[in-house]
């Protein structure tokens, strides 16, 4: 019988080889050349991506305007020497550690398709699913040598995860940071558990030898990963209860803020890619209320994360990226704004990017970039560059199509000091 499909054998195997990686392969499939290829290349050992689901209004956040399209927030000065809106007072205090890209630009104004593009760097197609950066990094850099997964999503499921890579490259989803990793403890004692798992292994054999379906196989791999994870000595990384109350409060007690704190803990334990999801940004109506509520959460959580990473000496090796699927229209529609993919903003911090820097600009209304547009593919290439991924290398999918990190986007090397 094929040991790959055999949870128990693999589990015993893992116990004998304590340093084994999470996932299927032990060594990187493509060891990356050690020589850096330019400024900033490979400086980010970890990436934390904050995804604002719904479409962050650039004009009401990081690209404030004073003309007729001005929103409810006022432009305010920051420690970084550039302006943001008054909804982000805490972020203003750490702006000297940030890079703002104001010339993000894309063509897709439909949520689902735009999210897909921002998460994968590729446009959505009916016949293939593309991986996120965590899976690309897993592919090129291998697992990180510990028992924790190399990719985690917080407050969200794992879609737009592994893409055409094996299912175990998909991120581990943590739906609620307060709960952390639910159901991690076995229901019965270990000798009983062994008996049950032995029986499971035997009763599974007939079906598994008969079924050639890749999804069935993927489940078997997930069971393997899960049984290994249950043995991990690093499970405390998922436990926010170990943080002092003062720190927990600083991040904000909502799920977003606690998600940022969890991301910091995971990065400390060597997790390479973390996505924190924040919903509720589709502000067609009542933008002011929305910015106060959601903007307030983002402001606290993000600023606390940047400051905390800096204080712990992790900011240079951790790149935090605030992204969203598109911006919002300069013209107010009632008390909200419509979708606007032509211009939007992203914010980066750490991982070797410049501090207190603004890249690109939009016109006076915030309608379109004034040259130097950065596409979602370019952003992926930039993050991939920081993570030390071989952007020019092509990976051939099982069906024979060549793919690369960021879909041949150009890394914005000007962002790196």
Stretch touching other proteins by CB under 8 A, among 63-71, 190-198, 234-242, 350-358? 190-198
Q: Does 363 sit near other proteins (CB under 8 A)?
A: no
Query: Of residues 49, 100, 108, 117, which one binds other proteins by CB under 8 A?
Result: 108
> In whole angstroms, what is the distance from residue 310 CA to residue 323 CA?
20
Place of tokens 């008969």: 210
**Other residues' Cβ atoms within 10 Å of the Cβ of residue 365:** 16
**Closest residue by Cα to residue 260 from 41, 52, 44, 23:** 52
Instruction: Give the CA angle between residues 257, 261, 266 to the nearest 5°.
Output: 140
Q: Does 200 sit near other proteins (CB under 8 A)?
A: yes
Residues 6+ apart with CB under 8 A from 162: 131, 135, 168, 169, 170
In the window 221-250, what residues touch other proteins (CB under 8 A)?
222-223, 225-227, 229-230
Q: How far is the CB of 157 from other proteins (least distance, A)?
A: 7
Q: What pairing do the DSSP bridges indicate for beta strands 357-359 and 98-104?
A: parallel
Closest CB to other proteins among residues 188, 249: 188
Residue 155: C-alpha distances to residues 81, 186, 293, 298 (Å): 33, 24, 17, 14
Q: Does 177 sit near other proteins (CB under 8 A)?
A: no
Query: Of residues 183, 190, 233, 242, which one binds other proteins by CB under 8 A?
Result: 183
Query: Of residues 199, 249, 414, 417, which one binds other proteins by CB under 8 A?
Result: 199
Stretch touching other proteins by CB under 8 A, among 41-49, 58-66, 77-85, 192-200? 192-200
Residue 85: which H helix or E strand, with range?
A: strand 83-85
Instruction: Evaluate whether 316 touches 417 at the Cβ level (below 8 Å).
Output: no
Q: Does 176 sit near other proteins (CB under 8 A)?
A: yes
> In whole angstroms, what is the distance from residue 295 CA to residue 395 CA?
39
Instruction: Evaluate whether 76 touches 299 at the Cβ level (below 8 Å).
Output: no
Closest CB to other proteins among residues 34, 203: 203
> In whole angstroms, what is the distance from residue 140 CA to residue 287 CA?
42
Q: Does 194 sit near other proteins (CB under 8 A)?
A: no
Residues 270-299 as x/- pattern, contact with other proteins by CB under 8 A:
--------------xx--------------
Query: Of residues 29, 192, 247, 249, which one binds other proteins by CB under 8 A?
Result: 192
Q: How far is the CB of 158 from other proteins (least distance, A)?
A: 5
Stretch touching other proteins by CB under 8 A, among 42-50, 182-190, 233-241, 373-381? 182-190
Query: Of residues 190, 212, 233, 242, which one binds other proteins by CB under 8 A?
Result: 212
Instruction: Give the CA angle between residues 385, 389, 395 to the nearest 5°.
Output: 130
Q: Does 401 sit near other proteins (CB under 8 A)?
A: yes
In the window 303-332, what residues touch other proteins (CB under 8 A)?
331
**Other residues' Cβ atoms within 10 Å of the Cβ of residue 32:** 15
Q: How far is the CB of 378 from other proteins (least distance, A)?
A: 19
Token pair recorded at residue 300: 């606290």
Query: Of residues 69, 80, 149, 295, which one binds other proteins by CB under 8 A?
Result: 149
Closest CB to other proteins among residues 116, 385: 116
Stretch touching other proteins by CB under 8 A, among 42-50, 83-91, 183-191, 243-251? 183-191
- Contacts with other proteins by CB under 8 A: the residue count is 67
**Other residues' Cβ atoms within 10 Å of the Cβ of residue 124:** 17
Instruction: Evaluate whether 390 touches 32 at the Cβ level (below 8 Å).
Output: yes
**Other residues' Cβ atoms within 10 Å of the Cβ of residue 216:** 13
Query: Of residues 16, 18, 27, 127, which one binds other proteins by CB under 8 A?
Result: 127
Residue 29: C-alpha distances to residues 26, 358, 387 (Å): 9, 37, 16
Backbone angles phi, psi at 399, to 5 degrees: -95, 10
> Furthest-apart CA pair in the chain: how many Å?
71
Please give the residue ranges that form the binding site for other proteins (CB under 8 A). Answer: 107-113, 126-128, 149, 157-159, 161, 167, 170, 172-173, 175-176, 179, 181-187, 192, 195-196, 199-200, 202-204, 206-208, 211-216, 218-220, 222-223, 225-227, 229-230, 284-285, 331, 334, 339, 341, 397-401
């Amino acid at each position: 019988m094929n040991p790959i499909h055999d949870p128990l054998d693999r589990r015993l195997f893992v116990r004998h080889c304590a340093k084994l990686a999470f996932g299927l392969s032990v060594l990187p499939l493509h060891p990356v050349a050690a020589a850096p290829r330019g400024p900033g290349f490979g400086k980010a050992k970890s990436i934390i991506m904050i995804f604002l689901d719904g479409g962050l209004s650039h004009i009401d956040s990081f690209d404030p305007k004073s003309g007729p399209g001005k929103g409810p927030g006022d432009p305010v000065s920051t420690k970084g020497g550039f302006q943001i809106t008054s909804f982000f007072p805490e972020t203003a205090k750490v702006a000297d550690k940030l890079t703002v890209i104001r010339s993000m630009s894309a063509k897709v104004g439909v949520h689902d398709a735009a999210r897909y593009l921002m998460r994968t760097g590729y446009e959505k197609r009916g016949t293939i699913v593309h991986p996120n950066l965590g899976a690309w990094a897993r592919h090129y850099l291998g697992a990180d040598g510990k028992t924790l997964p190399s990719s985690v999503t917080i407050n969200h499921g794992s879609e737009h995860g592994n893409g055409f890579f094996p299912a175990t490259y998909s991120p581990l989803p943590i739906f609620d940071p307060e709960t952390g990793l639910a159901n991690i403890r076995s229901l019965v004692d270990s000798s009983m558990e062994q008996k049950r798992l032995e029986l499971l292994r035997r009763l599974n054999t007939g079906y598994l030898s008969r079924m050639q379906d890749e999804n069935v196989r993927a489940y078997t791999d997930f069971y393997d990963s899960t049984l290994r994870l249950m043995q991990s000595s690093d499970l405390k990384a998922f436990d926010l209860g170990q943080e002092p109350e003062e720190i927990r409060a600083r991040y904000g007690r909502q799920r977003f803020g606690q998600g940022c704190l969890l991301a910091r803990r995971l990065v400390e334990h060597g997790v390479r890619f973390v996505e924190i999801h924040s919903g509720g940004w589709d502000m067609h109506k009542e933008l002011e209320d929305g910015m106060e509520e959601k903007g307030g959460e983002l402001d606290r959580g993000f600023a606390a994360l940047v400051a905390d990473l800096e204080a712990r000496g992790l900011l240079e090796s951790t790149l935090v990226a605030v992204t969203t699927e598109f911006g919002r229209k300069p013209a107010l529609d009632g008390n909200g704004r419509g979708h606007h993919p032509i211009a939007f903003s992203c914010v980066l911090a750490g991982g070797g990017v410049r501090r207190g820097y603004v890249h690109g600009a939009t016109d006076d209304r915030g309608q379109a970039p004034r040259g130097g547009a950065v596409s979602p593919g370019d952003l992926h290439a930039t993050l991939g560059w920081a993570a030390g991924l071989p952007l020019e290398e092509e990976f051939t999918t099982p069906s024979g199509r060549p793919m690369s990190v960021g879909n041949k986007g150009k890394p914005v090397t000007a962002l790196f000091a």
